[in-house]
Amino acid sequence: MEGTVIHDACHKAAHPVPWINQAMGHGSAILLGFSFPVFTRVHLQHHIHVNHPKNDPDHIVSTFGPIWLIAPRFFYHEVFFFQKKLWRKYELLQWGIERSIFLTIILAGLKFDFMNLIYNLWFGPALMVGVTLGIFFDYLPHRPFRSRNKWLNSRVYPSRFMNLLIMGQNYHLIHHLWPSIPWFEYKVAYEKTKPLLDIKGSPQRVGIFESKEDIYNFIYDLLIGVRSHSKKRGKIRKIINLYPGYKIKKILLKIVNKTFIGSN
């Protein structure tokens, strides 16, 4: 729930009253251990540069390690926020306040011995939300991370059950096409625009078990998950070529070849 709240709030779609929308965004951010201005500015960059290897901050989240470690990679957003100097007006102050609240709670937990409570009731649930966000907001909707065409850079996998379970994120392409639509209207928007999506050739399946290659790629991403837009991967190849065993070297080079994302 918190992931959907902060996500809709950053698009000003959580509540029609601006200050309530902001309050919902900041509150959900603190619950998740995030910073609302960081999430907002970085997420909007994702919308502008979907699947760009350098300018899409979520590309690192999805392609820089195994799926089971996807949640910690969200903290790269903070690095990206400061690298690109994305803050506006009072957002740097807001970041400072939210991080001070976070640090104060941790220090209080250490001093007054209630860290177990923090682990069980805050960090644990936040980690679960982070994994859910990473898989259903970033990894599944954008794989295989190739296209930057607005009709092809995300996917839809229609399902009533999934719509309720992950609060509409199975209609992620709809969100990218019309970001101001709140999550509970994604399904209706999809049903009304499906003929147009069919014409545009938009992906409308989950795309994991459709072929042997899809299955292999999913297993690879689950366990290793490092991918690149660089076809040659020169530095890695040089290191592998130092290995004396031919058979092992051949296997490693084959794995490196599989990490190439390619392009549409």
pTM above 0.75, yes or no: yes
* 233 to 61, 143, 240, 253: CA distances (angstroms): 20, 20, 11, 10
**Is 9:28 a contact under the CB 8 Å cutoff?**
yes
Q: What is the pLDDT along the chain (264 residues), one digit of tens a residue?
A: 678 899 999 999 989 999 999 999 999 999 988 999 999 999 999 999 999 988 999 988 888 889 999 988 988 999 999 999 999 989 999 999 999 999 999 999 999 999 999 999 999 988 888 898 889 889 999 988 888 999 999 999 888 888 888 888 899 999 999 999 998 899 999 999 999 999 999 999 988 888 888 888 888 888 888 877 666 555 566 666 666 777 776 776 666 666 666 555
Alpha carbon distance 23, 19 (integer Å): 6
**Is 12:21 a contact under the CB 8 Å cutoff?**
yes
Q: What SS3 state is found at 228?
A: strand
Bridge partners for 228 per DSSP: 260
Residue spans of alpha helices (H) in 156-233:
160-165, 172-177, 186-200, 212-223
Which are the contacts of 198, defined by CB distance < 8 A and separation ≥ 6?
204
231 DSSP assignment: S
Express each pLDDT in 69-121 by its tens digit: 998 898 899 999 999 999 998 999 999 999 999 999 999 999 999 999 999 99
For 252: left if phi > 0, alpha if psi spans -120 to 50, otherwise beta; the answer is alpha
Alpha carbon distance 200, 152 (integer Å): 8
Share in percent of the chain as helix, strand, coil (round to 5): 65, 0, 35
Express each pLDDT in 227-247 by its tens digit: 776 665 555 666 666 667 777
